[in-house]
Amino acid sequence: MNEYFSDLFSGAKSLLVGLSVTIREMFKPVVTVQYPREKLEITPNFRGHTELVKDPETGTHKCISCMMCQKECPSDCIRVKGEKREGVKGLALVSYSLDFTKCSLCGTCVEVCPTAALEYSQEYELAGYSSDEFRFDLLKRLEER
């Protein structure tokens, strides 16, 4: 009999506690972000696809076409093309193609680059109709920026 009433009281109490929790939550501000209309700041640590760094001094990339990234990339998705040019030390970059369909975002290319010419972009809204749209020419992208 004792158990009967203690069950009743503890049960009733926990029900009331539950109700008070939900009513308090109800008056707290909404946390939903209405995505396409509102966007959150993304963290600087976000790893998008790689991008060539724009050097503020020269206004162009810092790549010396050493091919380190191409060699190190575990997914084999980088093709760097450089050529000898008059008045340029080392090789001048002609094209830097990144096959983002294969990239695993491991970050090796960013780490090995001797001149820190690569960075992660903040791009996360990537959607397209064909895989060709994800074979980027980073040099062209840099020029467009």
Q: Which positions lie near ligand SF4, rule CB under 6 A?
A: 50, 63-69, 73-75, 77-78, 80, 98, 103-109, 112-113, 115, 117-118
Compare residues 28 and 84 and give the one whose CB is closer to other proteins.
28
Binding partner of residue 101 among other proteins, ligand SF4, none, CB cut-off 5 to 8 Å per kind: none
85 contact partners, CB below 8 Å, separation of at least 6: 91, 92
Cα–Cα distances in Å, from 29 out to 18, 19, 123?
19, 18, 29
Across-strand partners of 136?
Answer: 98
Using CB under 8 A, pick the residue from 1, 2, 3, 23 that binds other proteins: 23
Using CB under 8 A, pick the residue from 3, 25, 41, 57 that binds other proteins: 25
Contact 118, 110 (CB under 8 A): yes
- DSSP structural state of residue 86: T
Smallest gap, in angstroms, from Cβ of residue 31 to other proteins?
5
Tokens read off for 3 = 């158990």
Tokens read off for 69 = 């990234």
112 contact partners, CB below 8 Å, separation of at least 6: 68, 69, 72
Compare residues 30 and 127 and give the one whose CB is closer to other proteins.
30
Per-residue x/- track, 28-47, other proteins (CB under 8 A)? xxxxx-x-------------
Residues that bind other proteins (CB under 8 A): 4, 8, 15, 18-19, 21-23, 25-32, 34
